[in-house]
A and B are shown apart, each in its own frame.
Chain A
Amino acid sequence: MPDGPRRNVVQALGAGVLGGIEYFGGMSLLLVKASRRAVLGLFTTREKFSGAGLAEQMVRLGIKSLPIVVLVQVFIGVILALQLTPPLALYGQESQISAIIGVAGFRMLGPIITAVVLSGFAGASIAAEIGTMVVAEEIEAMTAMAINPIRYLVVPRIIATLIATILLAVVADLMIAVGGYITARLVLGPYVYTHYWRYMRDMLVYKDFYTGLIMAAVFGVLVSLIACHEGLKVRGGAEGVGKATTMTVVYSIVAIIISACIFTVIFYVYEL
């Protein structure tokens, strides 16, 4: 028998791995259940699907986060332009800054930063909302009233976040480009801004755009799924709600970055 501390390390490791598997399994199960309900609701008459409920969530999760997405993404454009122009100038290529901003923005930064903003804005608010409902026994009441919480709460939130993230990513792409252009006009001078849009168009291909949006869609599902899962598994009052909110943001960001890496490999290493 190993002595105390060593056994505890093994135990902790085992518990951690088991916990991780359980968490991942729980989330996958929720995704399967929600997808089934969504398909039944959207394409059959067996399940009720509330268009009004979806619209409400779209406004709450999508439209309300539009200003902050615009603000953040313009600044991302500004930062890219300011940071990358000097190294390009070393090779006399500062006019190509728009091409770099375009690629970086459309492929990655637009969707990623949007999803990170949404994880704080939409994800945390979903987790807090559903968590509070669990604590107030509203979920139990709902089930006892034969209203399935996955259909009534989870499905509209996931679909709304999915659509919102895609649309916001389009806005984000444009705002990054605009941020770069504003910087060029104000700081970098005519040599950079004269052909800003032309060089960007020459460099960008459709793939840059749609791979970004596919990623945005996946990020949207991840953020809302993690938020709903965290919210539904809240136990123990206000403290539990706070923890769920925090963990939603943490797990969302980790999931976003890891899946972005996976997508980069799929789209640009294996060229699928």
Chain B
Amino acid sequence: MVEQKEKSDRNAVIKVTDLVKRFGGRAVLSGVNLEVHPGETMVIMGGSGCGKSTLLRHMIGSIMPDEGSVALFGQDITQLDARGLDEIRKRFGILFQSGALFNSLTVAENVALPMREHTDLDEDTIEIMVRMKLELVGLRYAADLVPAEISGGMKKRAGLARAIALDPEILFYDEPSAGLDPVTSAEIDQLMMDLSRKIGVASVVVTHEMDSAFRIADRMAMLESGRMLKIAPRVEFEQLRDGEPTGDEMTDLMRQFLRGDSQGPITDRRMKGGYEEDILEAAEGKATRRR
């Protein structure tokens, strides 16, 4: 058992250990652990405000944790200086929720930007590589359009082409199907699976779209109120989703989320939500302030 654990440690491209993050005294992440192995697609699920986006932003070095560590390629990025962090950043790509394309640049220029900034390739080579990347996401015909001229789905694809510009070893996806129609969303899923097969990257996907999650995941992780409830292969989550309620609150909570049911522990808790306590707390707070 111990041996097996050590082996997995060595292989992990991402290793998040005991991550704690508080915003204004409120813990958004309280002791999260996660490992992602080379080539696998890890889907992180959870409701709005569960901390999944915060977790993602820790993994890309946008925010630093209060406690714990985030290691990418075996290097703890919380200990790196700006230069070291930038070196790590060149080894992964990110698809942002909105695509986050640079609006003043054309699609082709957006994809070319990381190459122009981080490599010494000449312009001709860059142009060929840009065309190859755009072909991979099926967007070669839109190379010279600016982001304002293309649809939401195309923006995502262009963002994806930019994310793979430097042949990353990890790809991060922030809500890849948010705001897309079901067909376009399925197309993006297909594209993500193709890419992970073709270029063998490890993918980390943050989403709350369960259809998409079950299509693309190798393993899945369920985050709730800043705690990791379960990390398991997709099959286990499928069994959980399709099985009967167990009576265990956490399991049923996950089951409700996976099925998207309107009734279950999540909604019950929200309803119960200690109405009396809320009222009493408010009154008490007022009294404290007056004192």
Contacts and interface: CB of A to CB of B under 8 A. Distances in A.
Contacts of A142: 102
Interface in A133-163: 133, 136-138, 140-148, 152
B131 interface: no
A195 interface: no
Contacts of B118: 146
Contacts of B104: 129
Given A140-B62, A141-B94, A147 B100 contact: no
A198 to B, nearest CB: 50
Contacts, number: 48
A206 to B, nearest CB: 41
Interface size on B, as a range, is 20 to 34
Given A145-B89, A146-B86, A136 B117 contact: no
Interface string B209-236: 0000000000000000000000000000
Contacts of A144: 60-62, 89, 94
A136 B100 CA distance: 7
A114 to B, nearest CB: 26
Contacts of A132: 103
Contacts of A137: 96, 98, 100
A132 B147 CA distance: 14
A129 B102 CA distance: 11
A64 interface: no
A141 B97 CA distance: 11
Nearest to A140: B62
B100 A138 contact: yes
Given A136-B103, A147-B117, 8 more contacts: A133-B102, A133-B103, A140-B62, A141-B96, A144-B61, A145-B89, A145-B114, A146-B118
Interface of B: 60-62, 85-87, 89-90, 94, 96, 98, 100-104, 113-114, 116-118, 162
Interface of A: 48, 50, 129, 132-133, 136-138, 140-148, 152
